[in-house]
Amino acid sequence: MRSTGVVVAWWYNLLTNKVEEGPGAPNSERLGPFETEDAAANALENARARNEKWDQENATWDGDNE
């Protein structure tokens, strides 16, 4: 099957808590773009996990975990 050249992007809307396809809400109101609908649906959980990891790394770097 040939590619049509159309790029599909998925977004997680922070105001509606719903996944959107393509252009929609302003970027300040959404996370993305993501390659899949599933990735967009997990955006908040992935962001929380990433932030927690960074907080732990910062605490270690600052010597707070000794």
Length, in residues, of the chain = 66
Q: Where are the domains of the chain?
A: 10-62
Residue 26, amino acid? P
Please tell me the predicted confidence (pLDDT) of residue 48: 95
Query: Whole-model pTM?
Result: 0.72
Please tell me the predicted confidence (pLDDT) of residue 61: 83
Strand (E) or helix (H) holding 20: strand 18-21
2 pLDDT more than 60 = no
Please tell me the predicted confidence (pLDDT) of residue 52: 95
Please tell me the predicted confidence (pLDDT) of residue 60: 87
pLDDT tens profile 7-55:
789 999 999 999 999 888 999 999 999 999 999 999 999 999 999 999 9
